[in-house]
């Protein structure tokens, strides 16, 4: 029994209480909305943040990193220890990571979740395609609508990818359609790698995985179920922001 309740708690309730005493990892992005942060701090003692993932895909090609961290915007929370940052996920993929990413890329259900989110989930789209911002700083429309439309083509969900084949593609000049195929695949790899790094950090530090992106929440659930990984994973509901 927990506390002074006259009724024993269910296993689910006990699990939720245990999770609320643990630190959280916000995933898969390196920054979160102020209202999401407020919800996290109300429920968890400390909230961990990944650094921006600057992926070094080959010696000559990678994704650009951004140096900003949550602590830059909330220095008092960083000083008090409520925000913990500095979890480096940049650089080249290790052989273990390559194997794990390839498992995601070869998983039809994982791929289906990604492609569905690319069609219907603006929050997910913003992680892979640049969006312009309105006067209040909110993302409004994609800066390259043609690129997003190309990513949304139904047949892309079923194109086979591996890390190795995309690395080989990155080493040569690509025609327009090949380049679209590469960009879509590279987006898959960045998505998978960010989630796998999140899983590994939660396992290593005993953290609860928390996001405000329903699509990433479902992707993490899928990977954990497929690979028999046991971590706690929750999704914060965004309302009005």
Please report the pLDDT score of residue 3 as a whole number. 38
CA distances to 88, 112, 164, 191, 194 from 182, in Å: 25, 18, 12, 14, 18
Which pLDDT belongs to residue 240? 81
Give the chain's residues under pLDDT 50. Answer: 1-7, 9, 13-16
SS3 231: coil
Look at residue 98 in the predicted model and tell me its pLDDT.
97
Residues 143-171 have pLDDT tens digits of 677 788 888 899 999 999 999 999 999 88
- On whether the CB atoms of residues 239 and 39 are closer than 8 A, the answer is no
Query: Which residue matches tokens 């895909």?
Result: 57
Q: Report domain extents, the chain.
A: 11-53+72-235
pTM for this predicted structure: 0.86
Q: Position of tokens 């439309």?
A: 149
3-state secondary structure of 232: coil
Residue 119 CB neighbour total at 10 angstroms: 15
Residue position matching structure tokens 């070094």: 56
Tens of pLDDT, residue by residue over 178-200, are: 989 999 999 999 999 999 999 99
So what's the pLDDT on residue 59? 78
Length of the chain: 241
Contact in structure between 157 and 111 (CB atoms under 8 Å): yes
- Give the Cα separation of 153 and 147 in Å (integer): 10
């Amino acid at each position: 029994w927990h506390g002074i309740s006259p009724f024993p708690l269910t296993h689910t309730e006990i699990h939720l209480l245990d999770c609320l005493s643990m630190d959280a990892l916000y995933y898969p992005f390196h920054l979160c909305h102020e209202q999401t942060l407020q919800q996290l701090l109300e429920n968890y003692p400390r909230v961990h943040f990944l650094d921006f993932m600057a992926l070094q895909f080959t010696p000559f090609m990678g994704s650009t990193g951004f140096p900003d961290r949550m602590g830059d915007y909330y220095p008092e929370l960083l000083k008090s220890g409520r925000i913990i940052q500095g979890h480096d996920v940049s650089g080249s993929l290790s052989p273990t990571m390559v194997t794990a990413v390839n498992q995601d890329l070869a998983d039809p259900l994982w791929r289906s979740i990604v492609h569905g989110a690319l069609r219907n989930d603006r929050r997910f789209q913003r992680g892979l395609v640049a969006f312009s911002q309105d006067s209040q700083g909110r993302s409004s429309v994609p800066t390259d609508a043609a690129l997003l439309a190309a990513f949304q083509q139904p047949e892309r969900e079923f194109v086979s990818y591996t890390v190795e084949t995309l690395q080989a593609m990155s080493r040569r000049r690509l025609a327009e359609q090949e380049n679209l195929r590469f960009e879509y695949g590279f987006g898959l790899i960045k998505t998978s790698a960010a989630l796998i790094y999140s899983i590994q950090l939660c396992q290593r530090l005993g953290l609860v995985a928390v996001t405000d992106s329903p699509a990433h929440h479902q992707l993490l659930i899928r990977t954990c179920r497929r690979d028999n990984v046991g971590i706690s994973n929750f999704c914060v509901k965004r309302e009005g922001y």
